[in-house]
Structure 1
Amino acid sequence: MNTEIEREVIGIFLNHPEKTETSVVEQDWFVEPEYQHLFEAIRQIESNDFLDIYGKYNQLSRNPFDFKSVKRILNEAPPLSQLSNDVQLMKKTVHIREVNEAVKDYQLNPFRENEQKLLEALSKNETDDASDNGKLDEAIAELKDSMNHPRPRGVKTFNKLDFILGGGMYGSMLFTIGARPSTGKTAFSVNLAYEALMNDKEVEVDFFTLEMNKQEMLNRFVSRFTGVSSSTLRSKANEMSSILKGLINQSAEQIAQSKLRVYDGLETLGEIVRMVRKNASKTKQGKYLAIIDYIGLVKVPNVKDRYIEVGEVTRELKRLTNEFNIPIVALSQLSRGINRQDKTPLLSDLRESGSIEQDSNVVAFLHRPEKVDSDRVVQLSIRKNREGELADINFTFIGEEMTFKEV
């Protein structure tokens, strides 16, 4: 029975190699050594070409299955929809195996150390079995407690935005911000991170940039901290006065001591998901924010259809917000060309996938309102808000200083 489940999981992964990027399955979950080697081959090969995977598998294994056998596993695999159920069965089997091994070790050597290992194995198994029983007891208890004890609503940024969101960026929220090119979406996300860090020194911010490198992002953050233009930092830093140099050194040190992390080398969905999991799991509740700039550049290996790829990205980000009760801000680029008289962005303008609107708790658009006679006014128009009202928030955007200020 267990071997059959392992075979099914391997078959699904052979058909959908990209799922190994976000799956919780570990190599040592497989009892059959050849399934372990197949799993590792699938993870190591970025291509979805079966011949590439089989070639890597032959390098990893001393006694590999023949070509026809592996091809049969692929062809006889169940549909992708069965993966979640099979993974849960595998996980339960792994726990049972761990308990049995702990019992055997304790029977052979009934020492305190082995007794503790047995208790831990039993406790882990019980915790996983009862991870979600469908009851609302904990949610009801939390609601009752919130009526007697004030709780922070979420990560705070701009005052008006916090008010519209009901107190800040709350856990389980996927907040998508759409903008056309050159509107200032990266600068706005820098300001969100800046405000979050300044409002609460305990807040940790993971910033995933897929357009710029760390040096460019550092310049933007230093510009926001000091008001010195990022272009000056890039090309004329040596010409600045000693006072400005001292100010920049001070702000750079402040950034280094903050809980800001910038990632410029993680491009695939799996890499981003693993990093968020790693950091969010170690962060205090209500003290974590992830920003992704931007959705359209996140890659899902072996998925060629852009509509499907974007849908996979937004669904996985939404799962992360629920799993760790964290807010994630995801930027999305809108098309330049809008064939209508009123150029104000609409939900229908979200490019490439309806899943962006569907999976997001909040959708807002950053744009320059046509009725305002100033090129420095940028409006954040909230057009979807599951737990609150819709609104338009005006900002003064000083581009050379990377600064957004609420009007």
Structure 2
Amino acid sequence: MATLSKHDIEESLLSALLHNPESIPEAVSVCDDPDLMDEDTNRQLWKGILDMYAAENGPAPDPTSLMSHVSQRGYLTKDTAKERLARIVQLQEHAGNVEGWAEELLGLKNRRDLRALLPRVKSMIEDPEADLDSIQKEMTDAMAERHSIAEPARASNVAVSMLDRLDGKQVGYMPGNLKTGMPELDNLIDGVMDTDLVGILARPKWGKTSFMVQMIVGQKLIYPEGHIDVFSMEMSEQRMTYRIVSQISGVPYQTVKRVMRDPDEIGGEEKQAVRSAAERVAGWEGELRIYTGSMTPRQVCQIIRANTTRDAAAENDHLSVFIDNFQSFGKVVQREQMEEASSLIKDLTLDCESPVFLLSQVNRNCVDQNRPPRIKDAKGTGQLEQDFDRAITIDRPDMRNPHMSVDELRSMGIREGWAVIGLDKNREGKEGTFEKYFHGPTMQFVDQEPEESEAGDAMLAGAGRGPSEDDEVETGSAEDAEDIFNV
């Protein structure tokens, strides 16, 4: 709970009460103060719950009856109550320990307004012999907590962890030195820090989601015990897992789908390779948690906070978070809220100490000007350029020149199917680029272009610029998101 903001804790308590109305007495026993909550809308909903609890034979405070009650009492307008309740009831992750949420809120309230010290102050006035130094120290500590409720991190603790590592007492994953799973990129980044917000930037269909899946596979192969959260508003958990199996097994994605559609139709080595890769994924000690469907930035952040808190309590490694893609938030929040979304996600990395990889489209400037994409091209809000600690760009020179033939591209030194991966921003060190070939069948970036004589035409389908069946799996839904912000 300590990693959640007070606003998040307020909504967590309200969610818990609406999911478990029979537990309202537990919360009221902790605190029946109508002003328990700071945020006005949350406070009015809490007052409505107290009203309904106090009324004999009153209705159970389900979302509909609560909305009617607070609007009839004039606490809130019906639309305001409906909007807030619609968000609160979706917080399934927090519908558990009601008494715990209430105690957390009361603790924050007491530390904020110093009420717990008032009896001691009264005693000091009435009794001149009271321990003045002790009371002054308590008041000083309380005032310090008022300005900084969060427990500070301590350099001494980090240093002890460093010594344990040097002495061989700590092995495996080291927080602050996460590898991406792509050696060339790891050499440039030199370890992802646990408070990093890392952007992955490219035009639609240039391979952002494939790059993300490849990084997920790379991290899980290096750290099988670590937990990863993935948020995708445009791809189901089945499609993503099939792509992971395709990359691990080397079996084309379309073949993986055919094997799963009719296991008896395709046999032999390919079927066995798919089985082995699926067994490997099924055996990962750490969970790969995939969240799909439309969510607001605040909902995403609440889920991540809950997961990192649980993982820390269980002493599990929470490796990283992937969000595919930033522009999808534009479907559920207003344009002016997108700037706030970037800041929310950046603050999350600092609070939860878990790096976030955020996929973002770039505008058409790189195509119109026939140049590699840059961090300043990120769509949606200029806040991304400020909030990103590192920015990875994916350039497809052949895709920037769709009107040119293969021979014309080669005359310009451009190789079909090859991508230039760049580090356009790096707070921790150098920037640079390296090249990878995009292998369409398995949808991953590889070191060498497969030889046509060995792979055959079927294996090369979708590896170059032309559209292929695999292209439809890429995130971005063609140019649907292109006009969200009219950039």
How high is the TM-score relative to the length of structure 1?
0.69
CA distances 1:128-164 after superposition (whole Å, capped 9, x unpaired): 9399489988236635864785483422122222222
What letter is aligned with 1:214?
E
Deviation at 1:367, TM superposition (A): 1.2
Structure 1: gaps (5+ residues) = 1-19, 43-55, 75-87, 101-121
CA–CA distance in 2 between the matches of 1:93 and 1:300? 36
Identify which of 159, 164, 177 aligns with 2:183. Answer: 159
Give 1 or 2 for the bigger CA radius of gyration: 2
CA distances 1:332-362 after superposition (whole Å, capped 9, x unpaired): 0123464644321122211120111111101
- Kept in 2, the 8 Å contact 1:280–1:288? The answer is no
CA–CA distance in 1 between the matches of 2:425 and 2:252? 34
What letter is aligned with 2:252?
S
Within a 5 Å distance, the mapping from 1:195-214 to structure 2 comes to 195-214=218-237
**Higher RCO, 1 or 2 (CA under 8 Å, sep at least 6)?**
1
Q: How many residues align?
A: 334
What is aligned with 1:229? 252
CA–CA distance in 2 between the matches of 1:69 and 1:206? 38
What is aligned with 1:288? 319
- Kept in 1, the 8 Å contact 2:323–2:357? The answer is yes
CA–CA distance in 1 between the matches of 2:275 and 2:6? 39
- Kept in 1, the 8 Å contact 2:45–2:66? The answer is no
What is aligned with 1:384? 425
Within a 5 Å distance, the mapping from 1:74-153 to structure 2 comes to 92-93=108-109, 129=145, 132=148, 138-139=154-155, 142=158, 146=162, 149-150=165-166, 152=174, 153=176
CA distances 1:94-144 after superposition (whole Å, capped 9, x unpaired): 5699x98xxxxxxxxxxxxxxxxxxxxx9xx98x93994899882366358
CA distances 1:267-323 after superposition (whole Å, capped 9, x unpaired): 22233212211222233576411111101112585x42x2x2321222111111111
CA–CA distance in 2 between the matches of 1:220 and 1:242? 20
- Kept in 1, the 8 Å contact 2:112–2:145? The answer is no
SS at match of 2:65: helix
Change (3 A) 1:261 1:141: closer
What letter is aligned with 1:295?
F
Deviation at 1:183, TM superposition (A): 0.7
SS at match of 2:430: coil
SS at match of 2:343: helix
Change (3 A) 1:203 1:135: closer
- Kept in 2, the 8 Å contact 1:202–1:287? The answer is no
Within a 5 Å distance, the mapping from 1:5-44 to structure 2 comes to 23-25=8-10, 26-27=13-14, 31-32=33-34, 38-39=44-45
Backbone CA RMSD of aligned residues: 4.2
Change (3 A) 1:135 1:254: closer
Change (3 A) 1:154 1:395: same
The 10-residue stretch of structure 1 (309-318 or 141-150) with the greater mean CA deviation from structure 2 = 141-150
Matched, 1:298 2:342: no
Change (3 A) 1:145 1:243: closer
Percent of aligned positions with the same letter in both sequences? 22
- Kept in 2, the 8 Å contact 1:22–1:274? The answer is no
SS at match of 2:210: helix
What is aligned with 1:260? 288
CA–CA distance in 2 between the matches of 1:236 and 1:387? 44
Identify which of 268, 271, 291 aligns with 1:245. Answer: 271
CA–CA distance in 2 between the matches of 1:198 and 1:372? 35
SS at match of 2:256: helix
What is aligned with 1:220? 243
Within a 5 Å distance, the mapping from 1:326-365 to structure 2 comes to 326-336=354-364, 338=366, 340-365=368-393
Deviation at 1:180, TM superposition (A): 0.4
- Kept in 2, the 8 Å contact 1:366–1:381? The answer is yes
Change (3 A) 1:135 1:309: closer
CA–CA distance in 2 between the matches of 1:263 and 1:134? 29
What letter is aligned with 1:31?
D
Deviation at 1:256, TM superposition (A): 2.0
Change (3 A) 1:323 1:216: same
CA–CA distance in 2 between the matches of 1:282 and 1:68? 39
